[in-house]
A and B are shown apart, each in its own frame.
Chain A
């Protein structure tokens, strides 16, 4: 099956710093990538949807200036958490889709962020 990678798998940073998370589709071209956030023992929460070459669509309540998403190529999307605070500590998961809506989303393994 299709493989999606994320880097880093975990990161610890100081409050006020910015953290960049990469999501790559390794063996297919992803026209659409999704970014999710998950708190412990809770459901995934969709943060934003990004299409290659266009601006990301953010879900209600997600600050676009705080969570910068760039989908510069068909195999790479990045999520930058700017001026991170402890409440941003969470599990961030990306997924990628090759084609249209009926195509399967393939999920990355996730990135665990801890802001001190």
Chain B
């Protein structure tokens, strides 16, 4: 089957940096998304990677290595409002979305 693996929960301190890792199966790939989802709200798009490398967007950056089936989301200068779930989502060769279960990020003062 096709699996997305990401940690269930992470804790970080306000002002710090955190990296959320995600691995996926490399057979069939059309891109990798990261979403942020606050409790009770719809997911919010953060990034899309289809080529290897680092994409920087403000405090958030996303990295992709297609050969390794690996991505990470890097959050800098953490703020309390960054407490949310972060979803790693793969688009496969049929353009179907394979959703990770999400990483719940807890930010402590």
Contact = CB atoms under 8 A, between A and B. Distances in A.
Contact of A42 (B37, B39, B45, B99): B45
Number of chain B interface residues as a range: 20 to 34
Contacts of B94: 10, 112
Given A93-B97, A112-B95, A41 B40 contact: no
B42 A36 contact: yes
A62 B63 CA distance: 34
A104 B102 contact: yes
Contacts of B102: 104
B35 interface: yes
Contact of B42 (A1, A44, A91): A44
Contact of B40 (A10, A102, A112): A102
Contact of B85 (A36, A38, A104, A110): A104
Contact of A110 (B42, B96, B101): B96
Contacts of A107: 97, 99
Given A43-B44, A104-B102, A110 B97 contact: yes
Q: Is the interface of B mostly helix, strand, loop or mixed?
A: loop
B43 interface: yes
A42 B31 CA distance: 11
A82 interface: no
B98 interface: yes
Nearest to A105: B37
Contacts of B97: 38, 91, 93, 107, 109-110
A1 B101 CA distance: 8
Nearest to B41: A101
B48 interface: yes
Interface of A: 1, 9-10, 34, 36, 38, 40-44, 46, 91, 93, 100-102, 104-105, 107, 109-110, 112
